[in-house]
Amino acid sequence: MWHRHARHCPLCGAALVIEEVERRPRPRCTRCTFVLFANPASASAGLVLDRSRRVLLIRRRIQPFRGDWALPAGYQEEDEEPAQTALREIREEAGVEARVLGLVDLMFVPDDPRKPANVAVFLCAHEGGEPAPGDDAEDARWFSLDALPGNIGFDNNRRILEHLRDPEGYPHPSRNLLREALRGL
Ligand SMILES: [Zn+2]
């Protein structure tokens, strides 16, 4: 993670030193008031279903989990609503237009080597377009819930797809949303 390797203040260019600030050791500028606070990134993922209740997955072209299947997902731009991020990533990675049905989960992902992230997972309905890979994806396809690929990247992606198969066991208020979506879009 880049902030662990930062040596200079991004505002004035002076050296950073590690000092305790607000109860934790943090890089602080030796000249100005800058303190480098490290926070998780914000990301969004799309759990897209078509009318046959198949789920849209993309095959990752980049690390981590290169070559594995995953939900279309990516980091939020600073001027985007989280739901817009999900729809943009679905379009860019899988070539598909979708409509947001609701927020399914907010997952903390501490094990991404790039940086920890909070991932907002949006349940979406397919609106148009056939899957065609783009950006960080080398493939994009619909999968039946009873024929998901074996190599699914990210623990949380496996968990969320298991919950989609069996919403009754989902320890979360959005199990009703999943249940209704699976009944018919
Ligand atoms: Zn500075």
Tell whether 72 and 107 lie within a shared domain.
yes
Position 132 pLDDT exceeds 80: yes
* Full residue range of the structural domain in which residue 94 is found: 41-183
Q: Provide the CATH number for the domain around residue 68.
A: 3.90.79.10
**Which bin fits 7, alpha (ψ -120 to 50), beta or left (φ > 0)?**
alpha
More confident residue, 61 or 184: 61
Position 130 pLDDT exceeds 90: yes
Tell whether 87 and 158 lie within a shared domain.
yes
Tell whether 77 and 97 lie within a shared domain.
yes
Position 1 confidence tier, pLDDT thresholds 50, 70, 90: low
Determine the distance separating the centroid of ligand 1 and the alpha carbon of 19, expressed in angstroms: 14
**pTM score, whole prediction:** 0.87
Determine the distance separating the centroid of ligand 1 and the alpha carbon of 16, expressed in angstroms: 8
Model confidence pLDDT, tens digit, residues 69-94: 999 999 999 999 999 999 999 999 99
Tell whether 48 and 95 lie within a shared domain.
yes
Q: How many domains is the chain built from?
A: 2
Mean pLDDT calculated for residue range 14-25: 95
Nearest to 137, CA basis, from 48, 58, 75, 56 = 58
Tell whether 4 and 60 lie within a shared domain.
no
Position 146 pLDDT exceeds 80: yes
